[in-house]
């Protein structure tokens, strides 16, 4: 008789376009059988009747802030937030206090993650003017999901904003490079047009559409010149989404859950500094363009850009407000609510939040419910309605821009390589996260 470590029994499996009810048998952290496994034995049988089983959701854009200020977040806190929210793997950004721009910094991160992470983690390496020559070597290091470049909107030490350095960077290494695309010169020039203490809604005027679109035009022109693939993070304008359609094969697109959910200027008037992020939340035209792009197949990944800051930093007058919003824990509930509202299908959600990130970054063993893949599952109840409350937020900073939002559809279980690490709001067992491998 067949024996498995765990069997997920009779869930509706969201895979490869089909929504069929089946059992999933897992052994040693991998999926080893799919189908009718009623005759098999297992150490643990998880009843998934009435629930949907998605391939483990990957959040490809989080800033876990470790090392940084533990009162804001640490790796254990941020990855605990991830599994509470149904996320099985996160890709962590390099702009921490000890920035991940060298092999030594990567080593330090790996040690913490191996001991303390609740979900699996991939690591970005920051591209800077100082490490361009090393990037080919750094992107080949184990567990590196991509090189991340701030082509605008970062402190000078983290910036690569000019064409000469950007071209040199694109010629160093071979894998897809991820970009924060806002044109730095235009951001700086327009800053002088606004005074401190003006309404928070001025954020989307300062950092207007052209800041982002100009950044993306410049980056894609260089990508075409050098032949180096570019992944444009948090694409936020209708103009960029239309433009990126001409770069299939060379350019891929990430859209954020915030840009699919919140709309300016209303969100600024309601949330003040808790609506401030970069690139900014924009008006309804861009929101509608983002949804059209999602459903036209013009988006490759959806992420949260989880970027916690202290309440004190969020409540400063504009534009001294720290930019960035918590989001890894609320990503799945908010997207399930969009599924309930029929803005996208559950299958499209799985494509954009699991197989999409696995494909764009080359994550090994992730992104599919199929034999041989990692036993990573996000098990959801599509009928459950629940209100997002700040008391639920695991990041010590303790706030979410989605407080008070009712969601239909909720993650019930998070399973990471066969370990059930979250069940009905409880984090179980011990941190079992591992570093993700990339092809
Ligand atoms: O709003 C943002 N905050 N955008 C970014 O790109 C960086 C992030 C942060 O690190 O706080």
DSSP 355: I
The predicted structure's pLDDT at residue 16: 67
Angle (nearest 5°) at CA 354 between 350 and 360: 125
- pLDDT tens string 289-314: 999 999 999 999 999 999 999 999 99
Q: How many domains would you assign to the chain?
A: 2
Report CA(181)–ligand 1 centroid distance (Å). 12
Q: Which long-range contacts (CB under 8 A, 24 or more apart) does 215-220 make?
A: 215/151, 215/152, 215/179, 215/181, 215/182, 215/183, 216/181, 216/240, 216/243, 216/244, 217/243, 218/151, 218/163, 218/166, 218/183, 219/151, 219/166, 219/179, 219/181, 220/244, 220/247, 220/250, 220/251
Q: Which CATH number belongs to the domain containing residue 312 in this structure?
A: 3.20.20.140
Q: Are residues 271 and 379 in the same domain?
A: no
On the question of pLDDT at 429 being above 90, the answer is no
Flag whether 436 is in a domain: no
For helices 103-116 and 75-84, what crossing angle results, to 10°?
50
Q: Are residues 165 and 266 in the same domain?
A: yes
* Residue with CA at minimum distance from ligand 1 atom 5: 278
- Ligand 1 atom having least distance to the Cα of 233: 6
Q: State what percent of residues in the chain have pLDDT above 90.
A: 98
Report CA(307)–ligand 1 centroid distance (Å). 6
* Average pLDDT, rounded, for the chain: 97
The predicted structure's pLDDT at residue 108: 95
On the question of pLDDT at 432 being above 70, the answer is yes
Q: Structural domain of residue 29, as residue ranges?
A: 3-53+373-427
C-alpha gyration radius of the chain: 21
Q: Are residues 96 and 20 in the same domain?
A: no
Q: Are residues 141 and 31 in the same domain?
A: no
The predicted structure's pLDDT at residue 17: 64
- pLDDT tens string 33-77: 999 999 999 999 999 999 999 999 999 999 999 999 999 999 999
- pLDDT tens string 118-144: 999 999 999 999 999 999 999 999 999
pLDDT tier at 1, thresholds 50, 70, 90: confident
Spatial contact of 227 and 174, defined as CB atoms under 8 Å apart? no
The predicted structure's pLDDT at residue 18: 67
- Ligand 1 atom having least distance to the Cα of 323: 1
* Residue with CA at minimum distance from ligand 1 atom 8: 324
Q: Are residues 46 and 113 in the same domain?
A: no
- The average pLDDT across 93-105 equals 96
Q: Phi first, then psi: what are they for 148, rounded to 5°? A: -110, 130
- pLDDT tens string 321-342: 999 999 999 999 999 999 999 9
Number of other CB atoms surrounding residue 390 within 10 Å: 12
Q: Phi first, then psi: what are they for 68, rounded to 5°? A: -175, -130
Spatial contact of 352 and 58, defined as CB atoms under 8 Å apart? no
* Cα dihedral: 172, 177, 181, 183 (round 10): 0
* Residue with CA at minimum distance from ligand 1 atom 7: 324
The predicted structure's pLDDT at residue 19: 80
Ligand 1: residues within 6 Å at CB? Answer: 63, 95, 153, 180, 277-278, 307, 323-324
Pocket test of ligand 1: the residue of 61, 63, 187, 326 to mutate, having most ligand atoms within 8 Å of its CB, is: 63
């Amino acid at each position: 008789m067949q024996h498995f470590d765990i069997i997920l029994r009779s869930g509706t499996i969201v895979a490869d376009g089909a929504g069929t009810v089946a059992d999933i048998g897992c052994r040693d952290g991998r999926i080893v059988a799919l189908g009718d496994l009623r005759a098999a034995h297992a150490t643990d049988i998880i009843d998934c009747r009435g629930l949907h089983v998605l391939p483990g959701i990957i959040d490809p854009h989080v800033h876990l802030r470790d090392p940084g200020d533990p009162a804001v977040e640490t790796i254990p806190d941020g990855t605990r937030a991830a599994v509470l929210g149904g996320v099985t793997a996160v890709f962590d950004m390099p702009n921490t206090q000890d920035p991940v721009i060298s092999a030594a910094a990567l080593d330090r991160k790996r040690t913490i993650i191996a001991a303390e992470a609740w979900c699996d983690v991939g690591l970005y390496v920051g591209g800077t003017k100082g490490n361009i020559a090393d990037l080919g070597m750094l992107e080949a290091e184990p567990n590196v999901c991509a090189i991340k470049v701030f082509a605008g909107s970062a402190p000078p030490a983290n910036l690569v904003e000019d064409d000469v350095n950007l071209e040199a960077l694109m010629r160093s290494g071979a894998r897809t490079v991820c970009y924060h695309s806002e044109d730095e010169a235009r951001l700086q020039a327009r800053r002088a047009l606004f005074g401190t203490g003006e309404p928070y809604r001025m954020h989307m005027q300062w950092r207007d559409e052209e800041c982002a679109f100009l950044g993306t035009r410049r980056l894609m022109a260089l990508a075409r010149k050098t032949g180096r693939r570019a992944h444009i993070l948090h694409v936020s304008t209708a103009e960029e989404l239309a433009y990126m359609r001409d770069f299939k094969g060379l350019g891929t697109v990430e859209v954020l859950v915030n840009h699919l959910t919140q709309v300016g200027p209303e969100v600024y008037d309601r949330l003040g500094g808790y609506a401030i992020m970069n690139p900014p939340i924009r008006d309804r035209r861009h929101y509608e363009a983002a949804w059209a792009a999602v459903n036209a197949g013009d988006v490759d990944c959806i992420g949260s850009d989880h970027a916690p800051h202290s309440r004190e930093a969020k409540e400063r007058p504009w534009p001294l407000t720290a930019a960035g919003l918590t989001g890894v824990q609320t990503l799945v509930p908010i997207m399930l609510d969009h599924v309930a509202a029929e803005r996208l299908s559950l299958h499209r959600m799985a494509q954009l939040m699991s197989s999409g990130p696995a494909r764009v970054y080359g994550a090994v063993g992730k992104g599919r419910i199929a034999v041989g893949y990692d036993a990573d599952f996000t098990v959801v109840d599509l009928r459950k309605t629940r209100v997002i409350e700040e008391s639920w937020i695991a990041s010590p900073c303790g706030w979410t821009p989605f407080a008070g939002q009712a969601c239909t559809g909720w993650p019930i279980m998070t399973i990471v390589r066969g370990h059930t690490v979250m069940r009905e709001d409880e984090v179980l067992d011990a941190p079992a996260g591992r570093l993700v491998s990339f092809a």
